[in-house]
Amino acid sequence: MSSILKLENLKVRFATHRGQLEAVRGVDLEVEAGTSIGIVGESGSGKTVMSRAAMGLLTGSNVTREGRITFDGKVLSDMSRDEVRNEFGTGMAMIFQDPMTALNPVRRIGSQLQESLRVRLGMSRKEAKARSIELLTLVRIPEPARMLRKFPSQLSGGMRQRIMIAIAISCNPKLLFADEPTTALDVTVQAQILELLTDLRQELNMTMVLVTHDLGVVAGNTDYVAVMYAGEIVEQAPTTELFANMKMPYTEALFKSIPNINMKAGSRLPVIEGRLPDPTDRPPGCGFAPRCNYAQDKCFTDHPELEVAKDGHLYRCWFPLGDSIQRKVS
């Protein structure tokens, strides 16, 4: 299968008053066309920075980006900003956590929706209007013609997110980045939006990168999962394989610490003690070692590389779970 997005040794650094902050440090990732991949991590894990860098959206003067980004056969990392911008809409598109800030509050839905249709696809006013009604129907908005006349503030959070999705898919992008698309929404609405995204992906044959902190969201909506911790991918596998056979202690600890609706009521949750390492001062060994129940001396001194197991299961751990190595449980 062909890959649509390929990151090679992607690094992102921010210059801060406390020194260089390495938010993403050497990520290799290949996304196959037509699949969906979930990027999971806590805040500070670098998941959002990585996805923005991959889209070429981090352009501040305090940002340094290294590594090679290939999108749809084109080397994005060598292109100018204008050339990268040309890829937006038709090549890739993005939806954000907070649809209110992503929409212009003083313009009607219709004009925001039709803008890219007319500019990018060169449609006439009439064509653009017809197409935008089609798009709103696609994202399951009732009475689409009336919706065009409304302002973002007149809509609920779920409706706004549907509008954002309609705008994102308006130029038939090949790749959709969804950054915490349902975090700000109510549970019943979240379920609807996730269902919509999954359906649209299949109908339009889109590739999707779903960035989220929620393992539950990932489980039902992706083909692959990459778990990020302290700026690195620490585990990556097909979704069913990952959940069935976690190799990285961090993934397992995260999984066990989240409240699960299928657990026994009132049961006490295992917790991950400690916090993420300081991004300006990374420890030499494994970033998770100080919080890991299975850590051994080697983990504190040597940085593990990403290992490949069968079924394309990648992990970054000296002593992966499921191996028969004697563990020292602290």
Specify the residue, 67 or 157, whose C-beta has the smaller distance to another protein: 157
Query: Judged by CB, which is closer to another protein: 73, or 266?
Result: 266
Q: How far is the CB of 323 from another protein (least distance, A)?
A: 23
Question: Least distance to another protein from the beta carbon of 33, Å?
Answer: 21
In the complex, minimum distance from the CB of residue 314 to another protein, in angstroms, rounded to a whole number: 18
Residue nearer to another protein on the CB measure, 188 or 326: 188
Number of H helices, E strands in the chain: 12, 12
To which residue do tokens 């602290």 refer? 330
- How far, in Å, CA of 243 to CA of 40, rounded? 13
Compute the distance between CA of residue 50 and CA of residue 191 in angstroms, rounded to an integer.
26
What phi-psi label fits residue 143: left (phi over 0), alpha (psi between -120 and 50 degrees) or beta?
left
In whole angstroms, the minimum distance from the beta carbon of 216 to another protein comes to 3
Residues that bind another protein (CB under 8 A): 42-43, 156-159, 186-192, 194-195, 213-220, 239-240, 243-244, 253-255, 257-263, 265-273, 275
Q: Which is nearer to another protein, 35 or 90 (CB)?
A: 35
Nearest CA to 158 among 133, 189, 118, 198?
Answer: 189
Q: Where are the beta strands (DSSP E) in 133-281?
A: 175-179, 207-212, 224-229, 232-238
Smaller CB separation from another protein, 75 or 263? 263
CB 76 → another protein: shortest distance, Å? Answer: 31
For the chain, strand residue ranges (E) read 3-16, 19-32, 36-40, 63-71, 74-75, 92-95, 175-179, 207-212, 224-229, 232-238, 307-308, 314-315
- Taking the complex as a whole, the smallest distance from the CB of residue 282 to another protein amounts, in Å, to 18
How many residues are listed for the chain in this entry?
A: 330
Q: Which is nearer to another protein, 93 or 234 (CB)?
A: 234
Inter-residue contact 258 to 272 (CB < 8 Å): no
